């Protein structure tokens, strides 16, 4: 993992915008163990855009 990847992590709002769902839905999916893989960074949840895109492809 390089520095550029870490700088390009998406927050919950950016991920929700990309997926077209409310941020609360991402938190709910995370609690239920569904949705794209998120990572804790301190008190925050962040997403790798590639993980989000891969999760979307898996839903087809």
Considering the segment(s) 3-58 as one domain, its CATH architecture is Orthogonal Bundle (1.10)
pLDDT tens per residue, range 9-31: 999 999 999 999 999 999 999 99
Which pTM value belongs to this model?
0.85
Q: Tell me what pLDDT residue 4 has.
A: 63
CA dihedral 11, 17, 20, 23 (to 10 degrees): 50
Which DSSP state fits 21? S
């Amino acid at each position: 993992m390089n520095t550029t990847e870490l700088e390009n992590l998406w927050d919950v709002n950016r991920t929700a915008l990309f997926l077209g769902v409310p941020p609360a839905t991402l938190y709910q999916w995370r609690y239920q163990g569904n949705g794209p893989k998120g990572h804790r960074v301190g008190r925050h949840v962040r997403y790798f855009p590639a993980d989000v895109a891969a999760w979307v492809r898996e839903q087809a």
